Amino acid sequence: MNNKHVSPAYSPTIFNNRDKEIWIVLGRVATNRESTVVYGEAGTGKTWLLKHLAAPSTLAEYELEDAIPIYIDCQTISITHFWHDIFAQLPSMFGENQPLIDELRAEESIDFSAARRILLKLMRNQDCLVLLLDNFDALIVQENSEEPDFLNQLRSLLISRDISIAAVLSLQNKLETLLQGFNFVGSEFNIFYPIELKPLDEHKRDS
């Protein structure tokens, strides 16, 4: 998927050296609809990795041809409009439920309850909605640490057995570091398997 806000840093051959990370991320999606966070310093290829995960050829290798990947650069959106931006990217493939999506898209913003209600209808029998949330740090800094409603709501969707959904987040730092001081009610925002992306040296970039 194209993203006008990000300039590519690597050629596609870089992913010959990210096979392990791709295998872990999509393996978790394919088996149990489990979510992952990839983190690493700037320039380690996080954006390219998430876009590569969205490619039909990549998904097909893991028998995820029917998955619905949605790539979002979180630096370009706000928590308030998060669900509106998600639904704006949903393809027109939901038959009798398509008017519901079109109606939501016409709204200026979509609250969590409306998003959950529609996702329950859409994703109960679909393969999987895969949210590829690049630069997720940008949304965390918008959140209220005393009442992190957005993070709690996102977590509740990702652990729901009634909605086929998973997420892959990219961050510059460990998730637990970014969430220090957050006051979560009940379970914390800790449902993501962490993968650190180390810098690729020059000979690996060209291999």
- Domains along the chain? 12-205 (3.40.50.300)
Q: How many CB atoms lie within 10 A of CB 150?
A: 19
pLDDT, tens digit, 9 for 90 and up, residues 57-116 = 999 999 998 899 999 999 999 999 899 899 888 876 666 677 777 877 777 778 899 889
Exposure on the CB side of residue 131, measured as CA atoms within 13 A: 27
Average pLDDT, the chain: 84
Lowest mean pLDDT of 72-81, 99-108, 133-142, 186-195, name the range. 99-108
User: 128 and 67 in contact (C-beta within 8 Å)?
Assistant: yes
Q: Which residues pair with 67 in a beta bridge?
A: 128
Rounded Cα–Cα distance for residues 140 and 138 (Å): 6
Q: Measured at the alpha carbon of residue 54, what is the angle toward residues 31 and 52, in degrees to the nearest 5? A: 105
The whole-number average pLDDT for the span 20-49 is 93
Which own/partner contact pairs does 182-185 have at CB distance under 8 Å and 24+ positions apart?
A: 182/143, 182/145, 182/148, 182/151, 183/145, 183/146, 183/147, 183/148, 184/148, 184/151, 184/152, 185/152
pLDDT, tens digit, 9 for 90 and up, residues 150-167 = 999 999 999 998 999 999
pTM: 0.86
Rounded Cα–Cα distance for residues 53 and 22 (Å): 7
Sequence letter at residue 2: N
Say whether pLDDT at 199 is over 90.
Answer: no
The 3-state DSSP composition of the chain as helix, strand, coil percent (nearest 5) reads 45, 15, 40
User: 29 and 64 in contact (C-beta within 8 Å)?
Assistant: yes
The whole-number average pLDDT for the span 179-207 is 77
User: 71 and 50 in contact (C-beta within 8 Å)?
Assistant: yes
